Chains A and B, each alone.
Chain A
Amino acid sequence: MPEILTYGFMQRAFLAGIVVAVLCPAIGIFLTLRRLSLIGDTLSHVALAGVAGGILGGIYPIYSALIATVLAALAVEQLRKTYAHYAELSLSVMMSFGVGLATVLISLGGAGAQVSSYLFGSVTLVTRQDVWSIWLLGGAILFLVMMLYRSLFFMAFDETAALLAGIPVKSINLLFTIMVAITISLSMRIVGILLVSSLMVLPVATALQIRGSFRKTFFFSLLFGLLSVVIGLTISFYASLAPGGTIVLTSLGILMAVSGLKRWI
């Protein structure tokens, strides 16, 4: 066994990491194609408030973040109706709320150190409970993505036509927003709140460069996500770097390598 896998905390980091690695781009591809990449950022800032609240109230932070992001996701859907002509305004409003609330909650008590482990990700602190939550909920979301794959694809391309093809667009939109919220809550332990949305977008951006079918783009998004996390975690272990940042920089490196290769070939 390579040295890196003899450590219990690295085993847990990899176990949790590979689920997050495919989960983020699997959700991110639909966000990107619908030009909603910003929603990842918004909900992750609300997750921060959830984490801070959870630590203060003695609740398992992934669950409190989960509740906060799901509520925020539902609120964004409502706000979107109010500001129908300024879609991104509802996201800005919610992001401000998230950051504001988080700052106040953090300043209330000694949660600072713990919060920062969620803010930047901290694989050394991944617990057995984290791994279980990520596998169970992450597995459930991946299963849902597989079931809704074609509907989400159709809706990303043309929502009106999807509606007329008999797809329950409203319910799927709502369900999908909740799936985004859960994905963010699960991923923050590994890459950190500040970088979750990068892992949702970068592998997809790389896969889009390949210019293949949707199926191929989807497959490559997941593959690039997986590579980013596995390579990033390994580098961060041997070079003693922050894992979240290393993962995202690896992802960026893959993006540039693929762009370069494309020009060269």
Chain B
Amino acid sequence: MVRLENISFQYDDIPLLRDVSLSIQEGDFMGIVGPNGSAKSTLLKLMLGLLKPEQGQVLLLGKPVHQFREWRRIGYIPQNVREFNMGFPATVYEMISANLISQMGLFKRMTPKLDKKVREALEIVGLSGYADRRIGQLSGGQQQRVFIARTLVSSPCIIFMDEPLVGVDVDSQERFYELMETLNRDMGITLIMVSHDIGVVSERTSRIACMGRNQIFVHDTATFKPEQYLEDMYGEKTRLMHHHH
């Protein structure tokens, strides 16, 4: 689904990634973790072609990302929840239908077929009764699900998420992961999620990409141990220390 081949990237002369390769398979639920400044979001932007690597190439669904045109097959959920303008005058329905724009005609009108897609997406995320609510009236967790519905409406085969759970309460996080399981297992959507919460990610995802020292280390979640994370981050000699007070 996504392949990074020998990617190097630097920002303002600070190297962030050095000769990194990574392959994401169909049906993966990949968590990307790492400390602050380890270029997690940068990696996501490289995958989406929003940033250009200095060296190497990115393949998205088998195509070099700069030639990629089938954006409706790609879903993207931004960090918006925390920087979101609560006063923005838009309903849930308007937000979600905006993502169908490439399927609309010249005058971008909704059709019954497109309307049905919006209703279905709302149902999947459990917000059926909320179509006419203003986005600012919803809780952080509900807004997050609106963004997921906005992505689902164009039937993507892969969804990228950049720290989707920042500012979302614990109950909503639980609901979020249940929803992700539905998307991943039942609907067969490949998921890629950037997160700083190594604990939760290692419980919920199928593979983990640890970023550190300008490199990426990929593990299967089933055999992954937190000690490995520190080793990846800081080198071999680091050990998990327990403090006794």
Residues of A within 8 A of B (CB): 33, 146-147, 149-151, 153-154, 157-158, 160-167, 207-208, 211-217
A166 touching B88, Cβ below 8 Å: no
Contact between A151 and B78, CB atoms less than 8 A apart: no
A212 to B132, CA, bound (A): 9
Residue of B76, B98, B101, B107 touching A146 (CB-CB under 8 A)? B107
B139 within 8 Å of A by Cβ? no
Q: Once bound together, how far apart are the Cα atoms of A157 and B98, in whole Å? A: 10
Query: Which residues on B sit within 8 Å (CB–CB) of A33?
Result: 88-89
A158 to B85, CA, bound (A): 10
| B106 x A147 contact (CB < 8 A) | yes
What 0/1 pattern do residues 109 to 126 of B give for CB contact below 8 A with A? 000000000000000000
**CB proximity to A under 8 Å, residues B72-100:** 72, 74, 76, 78, 80, 87-91, 93-95, 98-99
**Interface contact B71-A213, CB-CB below 8 Å:** no
Q: A158-B80, A208-B87, A211-B89 are in contact. Are A164 and B94 (CB under 8 A)?
A: no
Q: Which residues of B contact A165 (CB under 8 A)?
A: 71-72, 98-99, 101-102, 154
A157 touches which one: B95, B102, B104, B107 (CB < 8 A)? Answer: B95
A48 to B125 Cα, complex, angstroms: 53
**Interface check B52, CB cutoff 8 A:** no
- Cα distance A57–B102 in the bound complex, in angstroms: 46
Contact of A164 among B74, B80, B89 (CB under 8 A): B74
Q: B172 to nearest A CB, angstroms?
A: 20
Could you write out 11 A-B pairs with CB less than 8 Å apart?
A33-B88, A147-B108, A153-B98, A158-B78, A158-B80, A160-B76, A164-B74, A166-B72, A208-B89, A213-B91, A215-B94
Q: Which residue of B lies closest to A151 (CB)?
A: B101
Shortest A30–chain B CB gap in Å is 12
Q: How far is the CB of B192 from chain A (nearest CB, A)?
A: 14
List of B residues within 8 angstroms of A207 by Cβ: 89
Interchain CB contact under 8 A, B76 and A214: no
- CB contacts between A and B, total, < 8 Å: 73
Contact with A along B144-165 (1 / 0, CB 8 A): 0000001000100000000000
Q: Is the CB of A157 within 8 A of B90?
A: yes
8 closest A-B pairs (Cβ-Cβ)?
A217-B89, A166-B102, A150-B108, A154-B98, A213-B91, A166-B71, A214-B90, A164-B76
**Which B residues contact A (CB, under 8 angstroms)?**
48, 50, 69, 71-72, 74, 76, 78, 80, 87-91, 93-95, 98-99, 101-102, 104, 106-108, 132, 134, 150, 154
Bound complex: CA A153 to CA B108 (Å): 12
User: Which chain B residues lie closer than 8 Å to A151 at the CB level?
Assistant: 101, 108
Residue of A153, A166, A211 near B94 (CB, 8 A) is: A153
Complex interface: chain B residues within 8 A of A160 (CB): 50, 76, 78
Decide: A214 near B108, CB < 8 A? Known: A153-B98, A164-B48, A167-B101: no
Q: Is B89 within 8 A of A212, CB to CB?
A: yes
Cα–Cα, bound, A149→B72 (Å): 20
Q: A147-B108, A208-B87 are in contact. Are A213 and B94 (CB under 8 A)?
A: yes
Give the CA-CA distance A211 to B136 in the complex, in Å. Answer: 10
Residues of A within 8 A of B132 (CB): 213
A163: chain B residues at CB < 8 Å are 50
Extra inter-chain contacts (11) besides given A151-B101, A211-B89, A213-B91, CB under 8 Å? A150-B101, A150-B104, A153-B90, A157-B88, A160-B50, A161-B78, A166-B101, A207-B89, A212-B134, A214-B90, A214-B91
Closest Cβ of chain B: how far from A95's Cβ, in Å? 26
A173 to chain B, nearest CB (A): 16
What CA separation (Å) do A208 and B86 show in the bound complex? 12
Q: How far is the CA of A154 from the CA of B106 in the complex (A)?
A: 16
What residues of chain B lie closer than 8 Å to A214, measured between beta carbons?
Answer: 89-91, 94
- Residue among B72, B76, B106, B134 making CB contact with A213, cutoff 8 Å: B134
Q: Are B108 and A149 in contact (CB under 8 A)?
A: yes
Cα–Cα, bound, A147→B89 (Å): 20
Contacts of B90 in A (CB 8 A): 153, 157, 213-214
Q: Which residues of chain A come closer than 8 Å to B88, judged between CB atoms?
A: 33, 157
B134: chain A residues within 8 A (beta carbon):
211-213
Judge whether B89 and A154 touch: CB under 8 Å. no
For B74, the chain A residues whose CB sits under 8 A away are 164
Q: In the bound complex, how far is the Cα of B88 from the Cα of A33, in angstroms?
A: 7
Chain A contacts for B95, CB-based, 8 A: 157
Shortest distance between the CB of B105 and any CB in chain A (Å): 10
Distance in angstroms from B43 CB to nearest chain A CB is 15
CB atoms of B108 and A161 under 8 A apart: no
Which of B78, B88, B132 has the most CB atoms of chain A within a 10 A radius of its CB? B88
Chain A, Cβ-Cβ closest to B87: A208
In the complex, how many angstroms separate the beta carbon of B95 from the nearest chain A beta carbon? Answer: 7
